[in-house]
Amino acid sequence: MSLHRLTQVVMGVPDVERTAAYYREFGLTPGAEPAPTAPRSRPSPVLSTVDGGEQLRIVHSARRRLVELGVGADHPDDLDRVASALMRLGVPIERTPTAVSAVDLGTEVLVRVEIAPRYEQRPARLPAYNVPGVDGRLQERAPGILREGPVRPRKLGHVVLGSTDHEASQRFFEQGIGFKVSDSVKDQGAFMRCSSDHHNVLVHQAPVAFLHHTSWQVDDVDEIGRGATAMLAADPDRHTWGLGRHYIGSNFFWYLKDPAGNFSEYYSDLDCIVDDALWKPGVFEGVQSLYAWGPPMPPSFLAPDDLAALMTGAHSPQG
């Protein structure tokens, strides 16, 4: 596959500093602030994951939204292919020697495909479990209880975007950028990948374009529990949904809410698709298709509390 990962997201929020502080607490590492482009331009903090480097930039926006999504490609030829595919769809593009960018109208996100190195992930130490008939861990306590220090997300895994036209957004990502559909929810949206991860982008139908969540990979389910527990100890109102296991994608999840209203997910053990021929995409229906087990999904998960406010502000000139 010529596309191989998400590179970076640029998140627009009304309160940049508060949101940046949240993601530092979430476990991302602050990076060097880029030099301001103009003398009085606003700060735009950059935060890093362990394996993906600078993967989150936060900029000012009157309403919360995903401003930009970066997708890594191997070679300039890949950019040529993306550029011509987008042009065939009638999508205006901007091309530089190292990137091609275009806006998906349904999600209002600028997608930037750029030449980027592939991930080289240091393998996590597999926890040994005691299961019936197999004593995998003898004479020692489980590593999950002994870990200390903050949870550090390994990489940006996926983003979920509300689209005012999910079919057009799917066309943009699938036929234009080159994502593959892993699974879909009937008449609602599609889980798409640009890597071996089950999904890197999910677009779903919504009354307004908005960022539903960003999702960050951690080593295992213990790290999800440790990370969410620490975040909730500092502010219980951040709790959104978890701990659970998704059905589509299979990953363990726990969702929290940042100060701007975006959800952020710790995840582990997502399905991995390396041979397209051996994966059969499914079409699912209903809420149960979203999770195998976990607490009941709160209504505010699918329709966030600020959706009406986002709709009112959707056409704000600063948005």
**Closest distance between Fe ion and the C-beta of residue 111, in Å?**
18
| Nearer CB in complex with Fe ion: 101/184 | 184
- Stretch touching Fe ion by CB under 5 A, among 17-25, 48-56, 212-220, 284-292: 212-220
Q: Does 170 bind Fe ion (CB under 5 A)?
A: no
| Nearer CB in complex with Fe ion: 81/199 | 199
Q: Does 265 bind Fe ion (CB under 5 A)?
A: yes
| Nearer CB in complex with Fe ion: 81/246 | 246
**Closest distance between Fe ion and the C-beta of residue 294, in Å?**
13
Q: Does 108 bind Fe ion (CB under 5 A)?
A: no
| Nearer CB in complex with Fe ion: 7/214 | 214
**Closest distance between Fe ion and the C-beta of residue 267, in Å?**
6
**Closest distance between Fe ion and the C-beta of residue 28, in Å?**
17
Task: Determine the straight-line distance between the first and last CA of the chain, rounded to whole angstroms.
Answer: 35
Q: Does 215 bind Fe ion (CB under 5 A)?
A: yes
- What residues between 279 and 318 interact with Fe ion by CB under 5 A? none
- Stretch touching Fe ion by CB under 5 A, among 143-151, 229-237, 262-270, 287-295: 262-270
| Nearer CB in complex with Fe ion: 9/91 | 9
**Closest distance between Fe ion and the C-beta of residue 245, in Å?**
12
| Nearer CB in complex with Fe ion: 44/215 | 215
> Do strands 291-293 and 282-284 pair parallel, antiparallel, or not at all (unpaired)?
unpaired
Which residue type, as a one-letter code, is found at position 223? E
Quickly list DSSP for the chain. --EEEEEEEEEEES-HHHHHHHHHHHTPEE-PPPPPSSTTPPP--EEEETTTEEEEEEEE-SS-EEEEEEEEES-HHHHHHHHHHHHHTT---EEETTEEEEEETTTTEEEEEEE-PPP-PPPPPPPP-EETTEE-S-SS--HHHH--S-----EEEEEEEEESSHHHHHHIIIIII--EEEEEETTTEEEEESSSBS-SEEEEE-SS-EEEEEEEE-SSHHHHHHHHHHHHHH-GGGEEEEEEEESTT--EEEEEE-TTS-EEEEEE---B-S-GGG---EEE-SGGGGEEESSPPPHHHHS-TTHHHHHHTTT-TT-
| Nearer CB in complex with Fe ion: 81/252 | 252
Planar angle of CA 231, 243, 224, nearest 5 degrees: 55
Q: Which residue is nearest to Fe ion (CB)?
A: 215
| Nearer CB in complex with Fe ion: 222/265 | 265
Residues in binding contact with Fe ion, number by CB under 5 A = 2
**Closest distance between Fe ion and the C-beta of residue 242, in Å?**
11
- Stretch touching Fe ion by CB under 5 A, among 10-18, 71-79, 224-232, 263-271: 263-271
Q: Does 182 bind Fe ion (CB under 5 A)?
A: no
Binding site for Fe ion (CB under 5 A): 215, 265
